[in-house]
Chain A
Amino acid sequence: MDRMTLTGVHATARIVARDDGRGGTSLPVLEGEGPLALRRTRGSGAEARVMVVGAMSGPLGGDRFGIEARVEDGARLGVGSAAATIALPGQGKEEARYDVRLDVADGGELRWLPEQLISARGSDLRVSTRVDVGARGRLVLREEQVLGRVGEEPGRLGSRLTVRVAGRAVLDQELACGPGALGGWDGPAVLAGHRAVGQLVVVRPEFAVEPMAARMLGECAALTPLAGPAVLVSAVAGDALRLRRVLDEALAQLGG
């Protein structure tokens, strides 16, 4: 059960996906906690599907949320969320944390496609996503951040996304925005007034043999090969809808 402390809720959800030996994927571990409830939904083919269902909005200041997912050799897991996650201000001044740890074994496949993270006015959240993919593992990961609800100033949001393939970091990116972030975060080098920023990371062993060429996807999005068997689509947009359109289009071009 989740632990309520004076400063906030601590909750971690855990998923383990395993090859069930019959061409499908079983979920020997599927444990939600507190506000992070998990539901298994109808999958397709060999893929097991899980939905993260937020039982209450959050994280609030002082909360510590975590999700840990492990995909074993031969297993295929798809994870989505039922709604956007909204970071809100809490009672205290403490920041909230959201830590995602994903582990994809050699021969496993993970599609991590949650809804947006929205940084509401007055909130203070640090998100970290760390993914370890085995040498022949496959990954599709989407991360979208929206700065403020419609017409609202954003809160403070810091995020770090690290993707390792066979132990070697192929992507390590931090972004800090909102009040109190270091200068220039909304200026012409970083976001230039765009309120939605997103990344799509695709790891496939075949990229090691046949790397993709970099290309633009519209004015404010680019696909670029990383230093490893992976590509990144990086995009900024005026709002969440436009951002999603660009990333969906990119995902379709990458063959889903």
Chain B
Amino acid sequence: MSRAALLVLADGRFPAGGHAHSGGAEAAVKAGRITGTASLEEYCRGRLHTAGLVAAAFAAAAVLGAEVRELDSAADARTPSAALRGAARRLGRQLLRAARVAWPTAELDALAREFPKGAHQPVVLGVVARAAGLSAQDAAYCAAYECVSGPATAVVRLLSLDPFEATGVLARLTTEVDRVADRAVEAAREVVAGAGVDALPAASAPLMEIGAEWHAGWAVRLFAS
């Protein structure tokens, strides 16, 4: 078991389907809400403290051994957009596929059997992190970072944004990613200390949810979500 496994798991090139998802950025770009570096940064910041916090807490709770089916059901309740629930399950399934080759364990095989159509990605991420020997905090970092790196990469393609600027956005958000990961782990500890899945954050972002439904109805789009 090695801490460097975190680098493997958090690598943007980890083959788990993330490249085809924009984290809602494609809809926000088309709606004119993301037009450049500044609005990308505010988008990522809002996403980090809502969907990012929730994803990080779910991933951390899964590492700490919270019951996967309960987590998955609680993730459903925190994802009102049917399009986003679908995307989260597809990404969960894709992540599990890659992880079962990278860190083959009986627990991952069992998860694939239990959720043939995929569990929510952050839940899978937590179980995978545990299989890779990583901590709850590692998983929370991975989930929180992924939720901002996805849109940043997508906006480089969507707006031909200078990739250095997009990377600058991610660099400026790092201290907030730290805070989100800490809060997520705190919530996850409460879950396993007996408070149950209700203790998990449920921070929502109305425009991301609405935008996801809008995006899912387009006939022509570059990204899957």
Contacts and interface: CB of A to CB of B under 8 A. Distances in A.
A–B contact (CB under 8 angstroms): yes
Interface of A: 160, 162, 168-176, 182-185, 187-192, 194, 197, 214-216, 219-227, 232, 234-236
A222 B209 contact: yes
B199 to A, nearest CB: 11
Contacts of A197: 206
B82 A225 contact: yes
Nearest to B79: A227
Nearest to A130: B198
B202 A172 contact: yes
Contacts, number: 136
A184 B42 contact: yes
The 7 closest A-B pairs by CB, nearest first: A184-B46, A189-B46, A187-B42, A184-B45, A188-B33, A227-B76, A222-B213
A236 B85 CA distance: 21
B102 interface: no
B125 interface: no
B201 to A, nearest CB: 7
Interface stretch (B47-55, B109-117, B162-170): B47-55
B81 interface: yes
**Among the interface residues A169, A183, A184, A221, which one has the most CB atoms of the partner chain B within 10 A?**
A184
A216 B46 contact: no
26 contacts: A168-B73, A172-B202, A176-B203, A183-B46, A183-B49, A184-B42, A184-B43, A184-B50, A185-B46, A185-B49, A188-B34, A189-B28, A189-B44, A189-B50, A190-B205, A191-B207, A194-B207, A214-B216, A216-B217, A221-B210, A222-B209, A222-B213, A225-B82, A226-B82, A234-B206, A236-B210
